[in-house]
Amino acid sequence: MAQAELRDDELVRLCLQDDREAWETLVRRYGRIVYGLAVKTGLAPDDAADVFQTVFLSAYRNLHLLDRPESLSFWLATITRREAWHARRKLARSVTISSGDAANPLDAAAAPAPLADEELERAQRTALLHRALEGMGERCRGLLEMLFFTEPAPSYEDAARSLGVPLGSIGPTRARCLAKLRKALEGLGF
């Protein structure tokens, strides 16, 4: 079974056995979510990148403490929120100290509101979507990513030119790829 097709509990088991490929899969699967959640708390991209590194280092050190491996995404989201809060506090302290302001540095870094259940659910759906896309062939993945993840979305003419395929094949290929994606998502329990 390819690493990208593993359930979270299987992936955690392999990571605990120091399987390097499993760790790479875990970071690929959840990296965008961790980084996105860090940015969503108000951190600048560089600070969010630092949080990303800290979260995965913490996961590496503490994965054995995860009681329910199937809840890996929620566990990573919790670590991300905590680390982002710490990063915001540290940044607020440095701004307060450098500006000489006597105000309480914690006021500027008040704990962010916890992510709403809808946001965590959206993060999980996004992880499943990327996981399903990873398991698809390059042609389908490339077409779907181009049509649905590129801003602004390219025209069919631009997509055909970029992919080197006839214009008339874009629509039917898109339909087949979406059907494959739907089947892959269903296989992942979505």
Could you tell me the maximum CA-CA distance found in the chain, to the nearest angstrom? 66
Instruction: Tell me the pLDDT tens digit for each residue of 124-175.
Output: 777 777 778 877 888 888 888 888 877 787 888 888 888 888 989 989 999 9
Whole-model pTM: value is 0.56
Instruction: Tell me the pLDDT tens digit for each residue of 95-123.
Output: 655 555 544 444 444 444 445 566 667 77
Residue position matching structure tokens 């979406």: 178
27, containing H or E segment? helix 20-40
Cβ atoms of residues 85 and 112 within 8 Å: yes
